[in-house]
Structure 1
Amino acid sequence: MNDITLPKAVENFIAANNAHDATALAAVFGAGATVRDDGRTWAGGAEIRAWIQSHLIDPKVVITPTSFAGDRLVASGDGDFPGGPLSFAFVFGIEDDHVTELAIDLV
């Protein structure tokens, strides 16, 4: 991925997202995980699966990493949404190779 070294959980998140595989993407998240995106927070498996479908799978989002430092991935996101591609910052909380927290903001 552009010679950027990523934690396994982040690699899995990007690969499942870019394959548009909702099941694999949901499996990246640990029990009790939360996602903050678009000014809202999704918590737990059912809410995160709904977020995955509406925010990543349906618009066919493709994430292209540009940098990673600490817990923050900066990436280009493109898909079936207005204004793309856009730059996003994904801040990950990771435990045992699973995403426990994810916050997404425009850069």
Structure 2
Amino acid sequence: MENISLLLSEALAPYQASLGPVGAQGERLVTLKNAVGATVIERVFSSAQLGDRRQLTDVVDGLHRDLMVAEGRIEPCVIAAMRNATQVAAFAAPQAFV
């Protein structure tokens, strides 16, 4: 799992990622700290999310989004609008029936 910590730190540079101890159900606390050591984000992820390459990509994407919100570069309402637009587009797309 320490490799996961290094991968997260590389993907989320300049933030330093660290993994907390394993919880009762295999979950881990991921903490992101800025250059001065202040905690910016703490999130809990399952061992499955951290152990699977595709899910780990989703974890990194989510943390990038959370960092953008924390840094004031994007508003949470913008994220909600983007999600809504994606869902509406997926719903409106013609479906092939087999």
- Which range, TM-score by smaller chain? 0.3 to 0.5
More strand by share: 1
More helix by share: 2
**TM-score, length-scaled by structure 2:** 0.37
